[in-house]
A and B are shown apart, each in its own frame.
Chain A
Amino acid sequence: MENAEGEKERDNTRRYNINDNHDLLAEILARLDGPSLAAAASVCRLWRAVSRRDTVWEALCNRHVAADFPGTRAVVAALGGYRRLYCRCVGPISNRLAVSGEHATTAAAVAARLSLSLSLFSIDYYERLGDGGWQRPSSLLFLRSPVDVS
C-alpha cells in the first residue's frame, strides 16, 4: 500500500475537523431534511446543540413553504421558533399532503401551505399562553397520525 501518501493524506485531514467550525457545520446541516436533521441531533452533544439552531430549521422551512419575506422571522420567533414550526406544522402538513398526492407546484399552492401552517402555529402558541391546568396545547394533534397500540 502507498503508506507514505496515505499517511500524508490522513495528516492533512486530521488537521481539519468539522466540529471545529460550528457555523460551517450549521450550514451543512441546514441542507438536510427533517428526519436527517433529527438523526444528526443524536450524534453528539455538539451536533445536538448546532442542529437546534433556529437558522438551520429556518432554511428547512423555507425549502417547503418559501417563508423568506420581511417580518416573518420576527413573528415566527415570537410564536416559538422555526424548529417548533417545522416539527409541529410544516413537516406534518407537507408529509400528509405528499401522501395524498398534493405537491406544491405553483406559488399560490406554496403560499396557501404557508398561510395554513402559520395559522395553525399561531393557534398552538395561543393555547400555550393559557394558564396550563388541564389545557395542554392540543390543537395540532390532528396533524399527527394515530399510533396503533393494540
Chain B
Amino acid sequence: MVDSSYGQESSANKSISTSPEIDGLLAGVGYAIRPSDLPHVAERLEKLDSAIIAAAAAGLPPEFLCSDAVHYNPSDLAAWVDSMSMLTSLSSPPIHPAPAPWPVQIYAPAPLSTPTVDLLAPEDAGINLVHLLMSCADSIHRDDHPSASKLIHEMQILLPRVGTAFGIGKVAAYFIDALDRRLRPRPSPPAEDEILYHYFYESSPYLRFAHLTANQAILESFNGLDRVHVIDLNLKHGLQWPALIQALALRPGGPPFIRLTGFGPPEICEVGRRLADFARSVKVPFAFTRLDEIQPNLLRVEPGETVAVNSVLQLHQFLSDPGSPGPIDSVLSWVKALRPRIVTVVEQEADHNRPGFLDRFTEALFYYSTVFDSLESAAAGAGPEVYLQKEICNIVCCDGEERVERHEPLASWRARFGRAGLWPVPHGSSAFRQASMLLTLSSGEGYSIEEVEGCLTLSWHGRAVISASAWHCGDGVDAPPLAGNIFFNGYSGSDRRE
C-alpha cells in the first residue's frame, strides 16, 4: 500500500523516466503515474482499503488478496491498483458510515456521494501538500537544507488553500512548523503543561483507557494481599490513582495498606498530598513518597510489601537510537530487581524510533494524523493538539539525547521485555468489558479495542494508537491470577448476583 511504504521507496526506482506527463513528485518516490489518473487511482485505493478492512473484519487472512497476483511493474500505480481491484471482488459495504479516515481521504478526489470530481478542489491541494511534506522530509534526510527551506516556503503558501481547520491541513500545519523549527531552531513559547494535559485527558479516551486497564491489572494482582507498594514511573497529576484507591477500599475484607512512590519533579508532592487526602476520605491507609528520576536507588521496599510498577507513556523515554545501549536496560533490570508482582506498561503503538529521518517522519505523520482525526470527532478544540505538538516537535526536530519521544510498537517491547526476563500477563475479561464500555461512552464512533496475545490495543478506525500490557517476573515470584474476573466491588465470576 502506498502510505506506509512511502519511505522505503525513496531509495529505489530512481530510474523512472521523468517524461512531462508523469507526476514529478510521485516519480521522486518511485511511482509512475499521470496526474490525470490521480483521481481514478485515489478512488480505487480507497475501495481497496475498505475491502481489506472488510476482509480483516470477516476474518479472512490478508494473503487472500495477494496470493494469486503477480505484479510485473509495481511502479505503474494505475495498472497495479486496477489489477488489485479486480482481485477484490468483495462487495463490501463501508465499515464506517462516518466520514472516512483522512489518510485515505487524502487520496480520494471527493466523497463518494458527489458524482463530479473537481480537480481544483482543496483535496487536490491536500495531495500536493502531502507530496511537499514528503519531499521536504526527504531533502532533510539527505541534508539538503536549501531545497528543504524552499519546500517549506511553498507549503506555507499552499497551506491556506487547504485550510487548517480540520483534516490534512491541521496536521500538516503542525508538521510544517516542526520542520521549520528543525531548520531554524527557535525557542518555543512556554506551554501550560498542566492545562494541556487536562485537555488531552478530557477530550479523548486514550489516557482513561490507559489508567483503567493498568488499574484493573494491578487490582487483580493485589488480590488477597495486605501491604502493597505501587511505583509510578511518572506521576504527573496522579489521575490514575483515585480509582485504584477507591477500588481497594471496596475490596471484600477491607483495603490493604497502600504505599505509592511517584517519580517526578518536586511539584508532585502536592499531588501526593491530594491523594493522601483522598485515601483518608475513603479510609484507606496510605503513604506517599516522591523520588527524583535520577535517584532510583533511594527507593525503599519494606519487607512484606508486594510491589507493582506502573508506567504510562513513560518507558519510551529511556530508549536510545536502535543498536546503541541506552538507559532502558538498566531501568528494566532495576525493575526486575524489585521483584514486582506486576508491571503495567502503556505505550503509544507507533514506530518513531527508526534511525532514518524520512522513515520516522512518515510514520509520525500518519500516526498523528490518526490521533488528530480521532480528536476532531470529539470536537476537542486546540488544547489536546497543542499537547501533542510537543511530541511532534520532539520527534521531528530533535536528535540524540534531546529526542525523548522514542515510541516503539508493542512487538518491539515484547521482545525487549522477553530479553529482560519479563513475561506477559493477559488482561482479564473485566478490563476488556470496562474498556469497551468506556469507549461506548466516549464521543467518536471509530474507536475499537483489540486483544492481541493478552494485551489490549485501542484503535481509531482500525489503526492502533495506544496499547496496554502487563508483565511479571517469572522466576520465583508468583504470577498474578490469570484472566481475572475480579471487580473491586466484590463481584467475582462465580458469584451470580442477579
B is bound to A: yes
Number of interface residues of A (CB under 8 A): 43
When distances are taken between beta carbons in the complex, the residues of chain B under 8 Å from A125 are 242, 278, 281
> Would you call B193 an interface residue if the criterion is a C-beta within 8 Å of the partner chain's C-beta atoms?
no
Give the Cβ gap from A105 to chain B, nearest Cβ, in Å: 10
Q: Could you list 10 A-B pairs, sorted by A, with CB under 8 Å?
A: A67-B489, A75-B282, A100-B440, A108-B433, A114-B487, A115-B247, A119-B215, A122-B243, A129-B274, A139-B202
Would you call A102 and B440 a contact (CB within 8 A)? yes
Cβ 8 A contact of A93, one of B212, B247, B441:
B441
When distances are taken between beta carbons in the complex, the residues of chain B under 8 Å from A130 are 274
> Would you call A113 an interface residue if the criterion is a C-beta within 8 Å of the partner chain's C-beta atoms?
yes
Q: A6-14, A17-25, A29-37, A140-148: which one contacts chain B? A: A140-148
Would you call A115 and B440 a contact (CB within 8 A)? no
Would you call A79 and B281 a contact (CB within 8 A)? yes
> Would you call B493 an interface residue if the criterion is a C-beta within 8 Å of the partner chain's C-beta atoms?
yes
Q: Convert B113-127 into 0s and 1s, putting 1 for each residue whose CB lies closer than 8 angstroms to a CB of A.
A: 000000000000000
When distances are taken between beta carbons in the complex, the residues of chain B under 8 Å from A120 are 243
Cβ 8 A contact of A116, one of B245, B437, B495:
B437
Given known A93-B441, A109-B433, contact A118–B250 (CB-CB < 8 A): yes
Measured as residues with beta carbon below 8 angstroms from the partner, the interface class of chain B is 35 or more
Residues of A within 8 A of B (CB): 66-67, 69-72, 74-75, 78-79, 93, 96-97, 100, 102, 107-116, 118-123, 125-126, 129-130, 134-135, 138-139, 141-143, 146
Cβ 8 A contact of B282, one of A66, A79, A139:
A79
Residues of B within 8 A of A (CB): 195, 198, 201-203, 212, 215, 238-239, 242-243, 245-247, 249-250, 252, 274-275, 277-278, 281-283, 378-379, 429-430, 433-434, 437-438, 440-443, 485, 487-491, 493, 495-498
When distances are taken between beta carbons in the complex, the residues of chain B under 8 Å from A143 are 441
Would you call B437 and A142 a contact (CB within 8 A)? no
Would you call B487 and A119 a contact (CB within 8 A)? no
When distances are taken between beta carbons in the complex, the residues of chain A under 8 Å from B485 are 108
Cβ 8 A contact of A75, one of B198, B250, B379, B433:
B250
Would you call A69 and B489 a contact (CB within 8 A)? yes
- Beyond contacts A74-B283, A78-B283: 13 other A-B pairs, Cβ-Cβ < 8 A, are A72-B489, A102-B437, A108-B485, A113-B437, A115-B434, A115-B489, A118-B243, A122-B278, A123-B242, A125-B242, A126-B239, A126-B274, A129-B278
